[in-house]
Amino acid sequence: MAETDKTEQETPAQGVTPPNAPPSAPVAGSLGPARMPRWLPRAMVLGLALYACFQLGSWAFHQLIGLLINILIAFFLALAIEPAVGRMAARGMRRGLATFIVFLGVIAFGVGFVVLLGSMLASQIVDMVEDFPKYLDSVIRWINSTFNTELSRVEVQDSLLRSDWLRRYVQNSASGVLDISTTVLGGLFKLLTIFLFSFYFAADGPRLRRTLCSVLPPAKQAEVLRAWEIAVDKTGGYLYSRGLMALISGVAHYILLEILGVPYAPALAVWVGLVSQFIPTIGTYLAGALPMLIAFTVDPWYALWVLGFVVVYQQFENYVLQPKLTSKTVDIHPAVAFGSVVAGTALLGPVGALIAIPAIATLQAFLGAYVKRYAVTDDPRVHGHRLRDGGKALARLRDVFRAKRDEAPPPGDSA
C-alpha cells in the first residue's frame, strides 16, 4: 500500500509538465503564438504618410487657388499679346521693351476710358440729383391721374426720410465702407499680380519655352511647341471675335441712343460694347445699367426702351451672332462653345467663362492630329435623307439572294 502511494506521488498527473522536464518538440498540426507580419508596421507608416501628404497638398491647394487662377489669367493674357510682341521683336526691338510698349498702350486705353466714363457719370449723377424733384413730381402726377389719389411730394419725401429701411440702409452703407475699401485694394493687388505675371510670360516667352523643352525628349518638344502655337492662334482668334462683337454691340446701342437723344451716346456705346463682351456673366447687366440711368435723366420712359433693347439684343447675340462668330474665329461648334462656357463658369466662375472657349479650342485643335478619320460611306442617311420604300425593298431582296447564294453548296459537292 505504501509502495502504491509512493508510485502515485512520483508519477506526474496527465497533462502536467514537470518543472525540470526538457522542452518538448512542437506537435505537428498545432498552432504557435500569433505574431504580427513584418510588413504591417511599414504599411501603416506608409499609409499615414500618404494621408498626411494628401491633407497637406489639399490645404496648400486651397490656400493657393487664388494665386493659381491669377497665373492662369496672366498666361492667357500673355498668349493674347504674343502676336503683337512677336511682330515688334521680329523687327529688331528687344522683347522686354516690346512687351512694355504693348502693356503701356493697354493700360493707357483702360485708364483713359475709365476716367472718361467716371467724369461723365459724375456729371450725370449731379444733374440727376438736381432734377430729382422734377422726376418725382412727374411720377406723382401720373399716379394721381391714373389711380385718383391725392399724393404730394412733401408727404412722399417725409415718409421716405422717416422710413426704417432708409435708416438701416444708411447704417449698413456706413459699416460697409471698410469692406468696400478692402475689396477695392484686394482687386488692385490681384490686377497688379496678373499684369506682373503676364509681363514675365510675354517678355520671357522664348526662355520659358526653352526651359520647358529642355526636360523633354525631342519628339515631345515638337508637340509642346505645336501646342503653344495653337494656343496663341486660338486665343488671338477668340479676342478677335470678342472685339468684333463689341464693335457690333456698340454700333447697335449707339444708333438707339442717338434716336432717343440720350447724351454721351458714343461713350455709352463703347461702354456697352466692351463691358458686355469682356466681363462674363454679369457684364451684360453692368453694361445696360449705365445707359438706362442716363436715359432716365432724359425721360423715364426712355429707360424702359433701353432695357427692352438690351434684352432683345442680348438674345440675338446669344443665339445668332455669338455662335456664328465664335465658330468661325475659334473654329469650334456653337454647341461646344456654349457648353464650354457653362462648364468653365461652373468650375472657375467668371474666369472660367472667360478662358473656356480658347482653352477648349486649343485642346480640340491639338487632339485633332491624333484622331484617326475614315472615308464616309456614300449612304443617303449620312446626308439626312431616308431610304425610300423601293430602295428598302430592293436592299432586302438583295440581302435574301446573297444569303441563299452563301447557303447553296458548290457545284461539285452534290451527291
pLDDT of 54 higher than 90: yes
pLDDT of 348 higher than 70: yes
Mean pLDDT along residues 63-81: 86
Return all residues near 119 (Cβ < 8 A) that are at least 6 apart.
none
Minimum mean pLDDT range among 173-182, 184-193, 301-310: 173-182
The full set of domain ranges for the chain reads 64-131+182-215, 220-370
Mean pLDDT along residues 237-242: 79
pLDDT recorded at residue 415: 43
- Residue with the bigger pLDDT between 350 and 1: it is 350
- Residue with the bigger pLDDT between 90 and 348: it is 90
Rounded Cα distance between 42 and 40, Å, is 5
Residue with cell 454691340: 249
Torsion angle in degrees (nearest 10) through CA of 334, 338, 343, 348: 120
pLDDT of 244 higher than 60: yes
pLDDT recorded at residue 414: 47
As to burial, measured by CB atoms within 10 angstroms (0-12 exposed, 13-18 middle, 19+ buried), residue 80 is: buried
pLDDT of 53 higher than 90: yes
Residues 73/351, Cβ–Cβ less than 8 Å: yes
Residue with cell 461713350: 267
- Residue with the bigger pLDDT between 28 and 56: it is 56
pLDDT recorded at residue 50: 94
Model confidence at 1, pLDDT cuts 50, 70, 90, reads very low
Q: Give the percent of the chain with pLDDT over 70.
A: 71
Task: At 325, give phi and psi (nearest 5°).
Answer: -70, -40
Mean pLDDT along residues 390-414: 59
Total length of the chain: 415
**pLDDT tens, position by position, 258-276:** 998 888 788 788 888 888 8
pLDDT recorded at residue 228: 82
Cα three-residue angle 297-302-307, rounded to 5 degrees: 110
pLDDT recorded at residue 398: 66
**pLDDT tens, position by position, 12-35:** 544 455 555 555 555 544 555 667
Minimum mean pLDDT range among 81-95, 220-234, 277-291, 359-373: 359-373
Residue with cell 436715359: 295
Instruction: Looking at mean pLDDT, say which of 143-147, 181-185, 363-367 comes out highest.
Output: 143-147
- Residue with the bigger pLDDT between 398 and 224: it is 224
pLDDT of 390 higher than 60: no
Q: What does each C-alpha distance from 208 to 17, 222, 376 come to in angstroms?
A: 81, 15, 43
pLDDT recorded at residue 410: 55
The secondary element (H helix, E strand) that includes residue 337 is: helix 334-348
DSSP tally for the chain: helices H, then strands E: 16, 0
pLDDT of 59 higher than 90: yes
pLDDT of 354 higher than 80: no
pLDDT recorded at residue 38: 81
Model confidence at 2, pLDDT cuts 50, 70, 90, reads very low
Rounded Cα distance between 150 and 143, Å, is 9
**pLDDT tens, position by position, 4-13:** 454 444 455 4
Mean pLDDT along residues 388-402: 60
Q: What is the mean pLDDT of the chain?
A: 76
**pLDDT tens, position by position, 149-166:** 877 777 776 776 666 766
Cell of residue 395, nine digits: 436592299
